[in-house]
Amino acid sequence: MCNLALINNLIKLFLPEVCVACSVELLQSESGACLKCLYKLPRTNNFLKENNSAEILMAGRIPFERIATFSYFADGGVLRPMIHKLKYNNGRDIGFLLGKIFGEDLLQSDFIKNIDIIVPVPLHPKKQRLRGYNQAEIIAYGLSEAAKIPVITNNLTRVVFNPTQTKRTKTERWKNVCGIFEIKDTSIFEGKHILLVDDVITTGSTIEACGNALQNCDKLKISIATIGEVL
């Protein structure tokens, strides 16, 4: 065991990591959140229902096939601390597992069966460097593990660095994201059915901006999957 791993294990021995959702002490094999909380998240199961609330939110804004969200994102809810850990506190394991569990759910219907490529909503490279990873990409790899569909991360790109969306109104959010995504090589996506993946859908403006950039690809079909849905 290298010194760093030894030190980490000693820290864990004296300061055991607890689940961000239920505060129970985590097992050695768990990271960030306990498996019980992850598997017991209340599901929207909306991939089983056409014209669900996420599809109604996005209707008429971009052409899409289907939209699925995994769980509800609400104040005081179990998902919120998990997404917070995923985004701001190196919670990659949580993101991967959420994606994988979601993918296992989606395999119960034909939602994911015709998808060719999984495409995470990109961060600006500068922001990704600051965070160390893109949380949507981590979720995408979890989905990919379950559904055995490849992930492409470097073709839809974010070309404008802008501050966080959190405190903006719907109109401000739209102005903030309009025109900030670009496709590097449209031929990679042409004729494909892609699954656009993000962590949480709130107003849908980020998804809409990605959808607008994707319109440059001929005969492209878009479906959308997010872990959280703000109702």
CA distance 93 to 142: 9
Nearer to Zn ion, 21 or 54 (CB): 21
Distance in Å, CB of 32 to Zn ion, minimum:
10
Nearest to 224, CA basis, from 154, 140, 165: 140
Q: Residue 98 is which amino acid?
A: L
- Residue owning tokens 């059915």: 193
54: helix, strand or coil = helix
Contact between 19 and Zn ion by CB under 5 A: the answer reads yes
Distance in Å, CB of 84 to Zn ion, minimum:
14
Contact between 180 and Zn ion by CB under 5 A: the answer reads no
Contact between 78 and Zn ion by CB under 5 A: the answer reads no
Nearer to Zn ion, 21 or 201 (CB): 21
CA distance 100 to 73: 18
Contact between 27 and Zn ion by CB under 5 A: the answer reads no
Distance in Å, CB of 88 to Zn ion, minimum:
19
Return the range that interacts with Zn ion (CB under 5 A); candidates 26-34, 60-68, 88-96, 129-137: 26-34
Return the range that interacts with Zn ion (CB under 5 A); candidates 21-29, 145-153, 182-190, 206-214: 21-29
Site for Zn ion in 30-69 (CB under 5 A): 34, 37
Nearest to 86, CA basis, from 158, 30, 20, 36: 20
196: helix, strand or coil = strand
Tokens of 194: 């892609």
Residues that bind Zn ion (CB under 5 A): 19, 21-22, 34, 37
